[in-house]
Structure formats: C-alpha cells, structure tokens
Structure 1
Amino acid sequence: MDEFARVLRAWRDRVQPEHVGLPPGTGRRARGLRREELAMLAGVSVDYIVRLEQGRATNPSAQLLGALARALRLTDEERDHLYRVAGVATPTPASLPRHVGPSVQRIVDRLGDVPVGVFSAAHDLLLWNPLWAALLGDPSLLAGFKHNLVWRVFTEENTRVTHTAVGEDEFRADLVADLRSAVGRYPDDAPLRDLVDRLLSESDEFAAHWEQAHVALHRSSRKTVHTRTVGDITVDCDVLSAPGSGDLRIVVYTVAPGSADAAKLDLLRVAGLQDLTHH
C-alpha cells in the first residue's frame, strides 16, 4: 500500500478547494485539499483517510476508490492506477462507467448559477454542485442505494419533488425503460444487476413497469421542487450527454429568466447555500 498512500497524498495536495466548489478559507497550511475536505467529498471518515495515507488501511472497496477518484478529479489513467495499487480490478468496458472525468467536472464547477448533477447510466448520482444540494437536499448525507434515483422514486415517498399526474406516470415509466436500456448495454455489471433485483423485490410498481419491457432514454421533464427556504420552484429538467464522457448524464435544472421561479432560485443561491455551509 506504499504506492497507494503516496499517490493519494500527492493527488490531494494538487487539488485546490475552489476546483471542487469549496471556499478557499484563510490560514490554510495544506497545499491542496485538507483531509477533512477529501473525506467529505468522498463520503468517508477523516480517520479512514488518515489511515489510507499512512498505509494502515487495507483492502479499500471499488466503491470507495471510485469516490476518491471523483473527489480528486483523476483522469481515467490515474483512476486505473489507483485501483491497481490498491489491489482492485480496474473498471472494464463491460462495467457501467461511474467515473467523472475532469472535463465533466469542470462543466459542473462552472455552472454554479443552475442546479447540476451528474448521473451514471443506472441513475446513480455521482457528482453535484452546491445549488443542486441546496434545492434537493445534500446528497453527501445519503448512502448505498439512496444515491440511486430509480431506487428513491420507487421505494421512498418523495414529498420534495412533484410532477403533474401525467408527468409523474411518464417520468416513472421512462426511468424504468432507461434502466432496462442500461442493462442491455452493460449486462455483466454486478451492481446494476443487484439494483434491478432489489427493485423487483421491493417495488410492485417497478416490477409492473419492468414486465412491459419498454426500452427508452429519459431526456427531459418539468417538475416542482418544494423547498423549506424559498417555497415551491418549478424547473425544467434536461438530461445532456457529453461526448467521450463514458455514458454519463449531465442533468441541468433551469427556470425562465425574469420569472418568479428565477427570483426564488436566485434567493436559494444565497440562503440555501448558507444553510449547507452551517450544517
């Protein structure tokens, strides 16, 4: 694990906080990210980051390595090196891509005035900007399947986001059809198979949609987000694909300029982000 610890420290040192949407702060001694900041971005404890950098933690999981690669803005080659020196098989073309490369990360960093999230083809939320968290809740507080949009839609009561009755039916049907399309493209991806199996056992509604064998890609919708800070905001949701991004989806929420919804989003950009900072 010596090489693993060495590259982890080196890559942490080169990432500046403003590159990952964090305030630079004052009185910093760290050349790049602090251990606390990397731990927050990767969703692990600070103690675990310390043990990884000291070579005292062994057998990190592929899921953790993916989270570290995204937090550290690694290229595909650097990510693969991280996997190899950790003794974990590198992602293969048969596996569903879950790595967010630097170019897509820069898109998210630059689009600070609109909520943006990056999803895998299986609808796992991989990356988001602060305004996304202010609007929809902080994803860093979620774990396991709760990072998956399809799982949350079909197994949890969602009082934060609503569609029209027709829009809700179409949204749910499109999600299942999109997931089936991912299964067709990545039939050997074990986490994807596990997700589908769990959904089939946990949700009769999902199972009913799955039986229809509809295949499609979810591209856009309109929804209303109920926020505690500024009230209801109706947004247009568009799903974009970045060429060469490995089948990732960039989800962008926008509102009509000059509208009441735009004014609320402007207010949320200030008040909502302050709430996140104080948590």
Structure 2
Amino acid sequence: MVRACRSWYHRHLADRPFSDQHGGVTVTQPDARTDAWTGARTDAQPDARTDAWTGARAGRPGKPRADVRPGAPERIPPGDRRAELAAFLRTRRGRVTPQDVGLPPGSRRRTPGLRREEVAQLAGVGVTWYTWLEQGRPINASTQVLDAISRTLRLDQAEHEHLYRLADVPAVAETEGDRGLEPETRTILDQLGPLPAAVYNARYDLMAWNATYERLFPGTTTQPPATRNALWQLFTTRDCCNPVVNREEELPQMVATLRAGFGRHLGEPAWTEFVRRLSAASPDFARMWATHDVARPGSRMKIFQHCTAGLIRTVSTSLALSSPPEARMVVYTPLDDESRERIAWLRAHPDVPAVDHTH
C-alpha cells in the first residue's frame, strides 16, 4: 500500500507546487523554476527558430507583430494617407523584377516583382521597418530613406514627388480655393482665339475656355457644373461619340495625372466623391485607378475626331497658372496644315453640329 501511494505521488504530484490548507486558505509554495510575477517557467529555452523581433520563423519572411516589440506602431484603417502610401509602395515593388536590380530571378517566387526583404536590402533599411512602412503603419521616414526607396523602386520624377506627398514629408500644398480666374487669364484665352484653349483644375474640372475650344468640344462645355469635367466626359461618353481617338494612350496618362493630384488632396470630400462616382460609372476608370500610376502634366499628342470637320491632330501644352492654385491652361496646337485648316473651318462655322446622330 505504501509503495502504491509513493508511486502515485511521483507520477502526479512530485513536479507540482506544494499546497497546504490552513483554515480554509490554500498556501501554495512557488516552484523554483516558475517566475513569481508571470507564472512562466524560468528554465524554458526560447525557440531558436523564432525571430525575436518579428515573431516569424527563421528562414521564412514573416510579418511583424505589433505586440512583440515594445512601442511597435499599430495597424491603421484604410482610407487615409498611410493606406494610400502602402498601396502605392506595393504596386511599385511588384513592377520591378529581380533582373532589373541585378538579383537572380529564383524559382520559388509567389508574386511578381521584388520581395520586401530585397527592397529593404537594396535601400539600406531594416526589413521590419520597411514592412511596417508598406503596411501603412504610422512611422516616420526621412528624406534620405525615401530617396533610397525611390531609387530602388526606380520611380520617375512624378512618382518620386508622389511618394514624398504620401509620406507627408513636403509642406502641404495649397488647396484649391473658391477664387475664380484672374481677369488676365480670360484675356489670354480670348487672345488665343485661333487655337483651342481651356483652363482645368487638378481634378480636370473645366473652369474656362475660349470659343474655338467650344467649337471642338461642345459636348463638354454645355454640361452642368457637376459633370463639366474632361475625365468624366471621356470615360462616360459612348465610343461612337467620344472626341478623343487615341484614348488607349491618353486616358491612362490622364488618370495617372489625376492620381498625383489626389495625393495632394487626400481626405477632401470633393476629391473622394469624384473618384467614387467615376469608379462606379466607368469600370475602365476603376481599373486604371487601381494601378496607382502617377504622372505630371505635360505636352501630349491629342487626336480628335469631329463629326463634320474630320480628324484633327494636335499637341497639347499644359501651362501652370499662379491662380487659382493647381490650375493649368491647356492649349491645343495643330500638328499639320490640314488640322489647322479644319480648326479654322470650325471657327468660321459656329452652327455646325458636333455629332451626327442622337441616342
């Protein structure tokens, strides 16, 4: 009987803390191997396969855990500047191949483009820090680090500036106000009479135009203010009535220019609502918007089709205005004599219809 009790004791109680009853109160003697504050075993060895900073298994890229490292920034909800920055970095990283930066392609890549660890290594920053940046966590980035990331991801000038704005590094750009155009701007538009010319804001809202522009694009100038927008008209007009011939080249460029402007106006209701409405109205716009491409306004070749005057080839020149903020004057110069003659013919025949059928 004694042997049986001793055997049962060694199997079930020998490794447990000793308890004693005193007046209904249990007094427990702490195990020397147990921490008095946490209850954790002090003789436990850390798993050598687990990274102390990220909580990831060694040998495999892991996601940082905010609860592992004291002071780690928390994740943030979508829809603000950091979420936009995170999406932009992910799309740019997926665009650069290992061969572009002199790395072997490897055979076990699950996604196109560089890995986060590769971007961090090439830019000279920590893997955990870059991962947090790409996850949109609230961390600060210096201009030196942003420049290094920009070089690694091969960003052009417009993308580089966009990265700075999303990281909230430059001074906040002056927002669009309610001020109208300066009188001198309207005078210049009128003096450019032989050439179509108009003033747009950064959202492509049509703010002013001259008579020649109205002859070429009556479908836009006659719209109510809510839809008097170049992008809205180009993406929602049927192909048979769309005045721009080279849409495949020009529409992505215009959306990229809009995206760059959007980075300066994150959180502004007018911008957010415009993007939401146009995305709902045009799947093509929604697809282009999702690429996160950015561009700067510049000279572009624009080919227009007028139902009566015919094909008109022009080059558009974008001129920045001092007021209102971010407004620009776009002038369309004919590329050949035939196009110049057709524009002159439109000016001489103001009653010519812009379309030859109705829907």
Question: Are 1:267 and 2:345 counterparts?
Answer: yes
Name the larger-Rg structure.
2
CA contact (8 A) 2:346 2:352 kept: no
**Count of aligned residue pairs for this structure pair:** 180
| Match in the other structure for 1:111 | 192
| Match in the other structure for 2:215 | 134
TM-score normalised to structure 1 length:
0.57
Question: Are 1:236 and 2:327 counterparts?
Answer: no
CA contact (8 A) 1:135 1:227 kept: yes
Cα distance in structure 1, aligned partners of 2:235 and 2:196: 23
CA contact (8 A) 1:163 1:222 kept: no
1:134, distance to aligned residue in structure 2 (A): 0.7
* Letter of the structure 1 residue corresponding to residue 338 of structure 2: A
Cα distance in structure 2, aligned partners of 1:230 and 1:142: 22
Counterpart secondary structure, 2:295 = coil
**Residues 159-217 of structure 1: CA deviation (Å, up to 9, x unaligned):** 342334xxx33311111111111111122432221100112222222222222111112
| CA distance 1:151–1:274, shift in 2 (3 Å) | closer
Counterpart secondary structure, 2:233 = helix
* Letter of the structure 1 residue corresponding to residue 195 of structure 2: V
Q: Structure 2 unaligned runs (5+)?
A: 1-172, 354-359
**Residues 86-139 of structure 1: CA deviation (Å, up to 9, x unaligned):** xxxxxx944466732222222112111111111011000010101101111164
CA contact (8 A) 2:176 2:324 kept: no
CA contact (8 A) 1:220 1:238 kept: yes
CA contact (8 A) 1:118 1:249 kept: yes
Cα distance in structure 1, aligned partners of 2:333 and 2:260: 26
Counterpart secondary structure, 2:305 = strand
Cα distance in structure 2, aligned partners of 1:94 and 1:119: 15
* Letter of the structure 2 residue corresponding to residue 265 of structure 1: I
CA contact (8 A) 2:193 2:212 kept: yes
| Match in the other structure for 1:246 | 325
Alignment of 1:110-189 (within 5 A): 110-137=191-218, 139-158=220-239, 159-164=241-246, 168-189=247-268
Counterpart secondary structure, 2:292 = coil
The alignment's C-alpha RMSD in Å is: 2.5
Which residue of 237, 260, 271 maps to 1:192?
Answer: 271
1:231, distance to aligned residue in structure 2 (A): 2.4
1:256, distance to aligned residue in structure 2 (A): 3.9
TM-score normalised to structure 2 length:
0.46
Cα distance in structure 2, aligned partners of 1:181 and 1:98: 22
1:253, distance to aligned residue in structure 2 (A): 0.9
Q: Structure 1 unaligned runs (5+)?
A: 1-91
| CA distance 1:224–1:177, shift in 2 (3 Å) | closer
Q: Which has the higher contact order (CA 8 A, sep 6+)?
A: 1
Cα distance in structure 1, aligned partners of 2:229 and 2:277: 12
| Match in the other structure for 1:204 | 283
Counterpart secondary structure, 1:183 = helix
Alignment of 1:216-235 (within 5 A): 216-235=295-314
Counterpart secondary structure, 1:205 = helix
